[in-house]
Structure 1
Amino acid sequence: MRTLVIGDIHGGLKGLIQVVERAKVNASDALIFLGDYVDGWSESAQVIQYLIELSKTNKCIFIKGNHDVWCEQWLASGIINDVWYMHGGKETIESYSGFSKEEKSNHLDFFEGMPLYHIDTENRLFVHAGFTSLHGVEKEIDIRNFYFDRTLWEMALTMDKRIKKDSKIYPNRLKHYSEIYIGHTPTINFGEDQPMHCANVWNVDTGATFTGKLSAIDIDTKAIFQSDKLMDLYPNEIGRNKK
């Protein structure tokens, strides 16, 4: 059985389908999604429906991202957060046109059931953005850091590759887990169109919401599977959401 980790989708159903097909996903594969399923391209509601159906055939873990928090709030209350609306919420609301009240309720249940992080049996951590506590995720005071923090990735980026985990100057934040998988900060910001590996942190957000591709990585073999650039799959659309 493989375990595949999938980065930020942002309403790009076509990219998600490509990744599933190119990775030759079958029912024996476990799938861990790092959040931000919505906001960006035109098929956010359709992405959620696809993931709900996928979870019926595969073991899936759906981590909650910041855009998912905003969408959940809208589905629960009908109140439109102005910041969210300007950062992809408008496209997400439009994607729900034609969805019934019952279908929206099912999607709300889906969002509400998402964990903020996951730790597997090999002590690998999966979280949308990061965390700040030196004592690990269980000691995090502000849960918003799980879906907004960028300092974890910024710290990993500055790490000298020669510094080993048993070194006294290896950051305590990173010592708690064998590996850490995140999304939230597109690797294309750093000139990379594939998942990036710094220290023991893997960033799997390859900028699907902007000019990049959607990516998946096999956490054991480190094989990478990617879609086409989302902007090529949705040539008549503009990815307007900002993180």
Structure 2
Amino acid sequence: MRTLVIGDIHGGYLALEQVLERANITAEDTLIFLGDYVDGWSQAAETIERLITLSNSNTCVFIRGNHDLWCDLWLDQGTTNPIWLAHGGKETIDSYISSGFIIKESHKKFFKSLQNYYIDTNSRLFIHAGFTSMHGVGHEEYESNYYWDRTLWEAALLADKVEEKTLEDMLTQPKRFNYYKEIYIGHTPTTNYKRDTPIKAYNLWNIDTGAGFTGKLTILDIDTKEFWQSDPVMALYPNEKGRN
């Protein structure tokens, strides 16, 4: 009975299948997905269909990412924008048209059901990007911070550099972190820091290991911190560019 957190997939259906197999997923596992299921590789619609199937066999939590917001607007209202199209939206549209899943109501319901964040019974927070309120999640002035913010990750990297905590350190350390035992995020690829494995900074774990770019898709056990990864996703889609 494991609780597993999964990083940004970005339409990499083959990577998702590979890492689920490598982690030996069973129906007893709880799966927490950190968002950005679409936009990048060519199988966005197939990825969503697989996630819907997983939710029928497993306890699943699906967090909303910024790319999921864009896809939701397109499926629901036909809305597109140049930024989305240039960052994987075109590939997502093509996937939905070629697969025929564009007509499936279950996909629209999937995007509408996504959560901005999730807090488990052990005060562990799961969120796509971050938050800015010093009072924790639920107090944001702008909901978009949940799937766009990067200041939380930057603050965690800075806080982690303090080796000997003095009274001054304790008084000035980022208060946003004090509400949660641990925080799990995606959104900012660890490949930006020349790593294709999860990075822990302060009490925050970044699980986006660059699956939308040159990295891998990761599943991590939140209790043991053991993790499993796909091959580099670009190797699974050799004729595509992903979000490069």
* TM-score for both structures, normalised by structure 1: 0.95
- Do residues 51 (structure 1) and 51 (structure 2) align? yes
- State the Cα distance separating 1:239 from its structure 2 match: 1.2
Following the alignment from structure 1 to structure 2, what is the Cα–Cα distance between the partners of residues 181 and 146? Answer: 12
Q: Offset of 1:74 from its aligned partner?
A: 0.1
The letter for the 2-side match of 1:216 is: I
- 1:213-232 matched pairs, under 5 angstroms: 213-232=216-235
Structure 2: distance between partners of 1:29 and 1:39:
27
Which residue type is aligned with residue 227 of structure 1? S
Once the two structures are superposed, what CA deviation does each residue of 1:9-33 show, in whole Å capped at 9, x if it has no partner?
Answer: 0000010011100000000000000
Residue 158 of structure 2 is aligned to residue 162 of structure 1: no
Question: Hey, what does 1:67 align to over in structure 2?
Answer: 67
Counterpart CA distance in 1 for 2:87 and 2:166 is 38
Shift of 1:102: 3.9
Find 2:187's aligned residue among 184, 187, 191.
184
Percentage of identical aligned residues: 57
Deviations 1:54-106 (A, max 9, x none): 00000000000000000000000112222111110000000012425541x22
How many matched pairs? Answer: 240
Give the whole-Å Cα distance in 1 for the aligned partners of 2:144 and 2:18.
31
Deviations 1:104-151 (A, max 9, x none): x22111000011000000000000000000000011110100000000
Instruction: State the match for 2:20 in structure 1.
Output: 20
Deviation of the 1:226 alpha carbon? 0.3
Q: Is the deviation greater in 175-184 or in 75-84?
A: 75-84
What is the distance in 1 between the residues matched to 2:12 and 2:165? 38
- Checking the alignment, whether the CA contact within 8 Å between 2:123 and 2:182 is kept in structure 1 is yes
Residue in 1 that maps onto 2:100:
99
What SS is found at the alignment partner of 1:11? coil
Question: Where do 5+ consecutive residues of structure 2 fail to align?
Answer: none
Contact kept in structure 1, 2:119 and 2:125, CA below 8 Å: yes
Mapped partners of 1:145, 1:155: distance in 2: 15
Whole-angstrom distance in 2 between the partners of 1:201 and 1:165: 21
Please tell me whether the aligned partners of residues 130 and 147 of structure 2 are also in contact (alpha carbons under 8 angstroms). yes
In structure 2, C-alpha distance between the alignment counterparts of 1:46 and 1:131, rounded to whole Å: 30
Report the CA distance shift for 1:217/1:161 in structure 2 as closer, same or farther (over 3 A): farther
Decide whether aligned partners of structure 1 residues 231 and 100 sit closer, same or farther in structure 2, where only a CA change above 3 A counts. Answer: closer
Q: In 2, Cα distance between the equivalents of 1:134 and 1:114?
A: 24
Query: Which letter maps to 2:69?
Result: V
- Would you tell me which structure has more helix in proportion to its own residues? 2
Distance change (3 Å), C-alpha of 1:163 and 1:173: farther
Query: What aligned pairs does 1:1-243 form with structure 2 within 5 A after superposition?
Result: 1-97=1-97, 98-99=99-100, 102-103=103-104, 105-159=105-159, 160-162=161-163, 167-240=170-243
Contact 1:15–1:214 (CA<8 Å) still a contact in 2? Answer: yes
Determine if contact 1:164/1:170 at 8 Å carries over to the other structure.
no
Aligned residue for 2:138, secondary structure, equals helix
Note if contact 1:165-1:175 (Cα within 8 Å) is conserved in structure 2.
no
Q: Which runs of 4+ in 1 moved over 4 A?
A: 163-166
Q: TM-score, normalised by structure 2?
A: 0.95
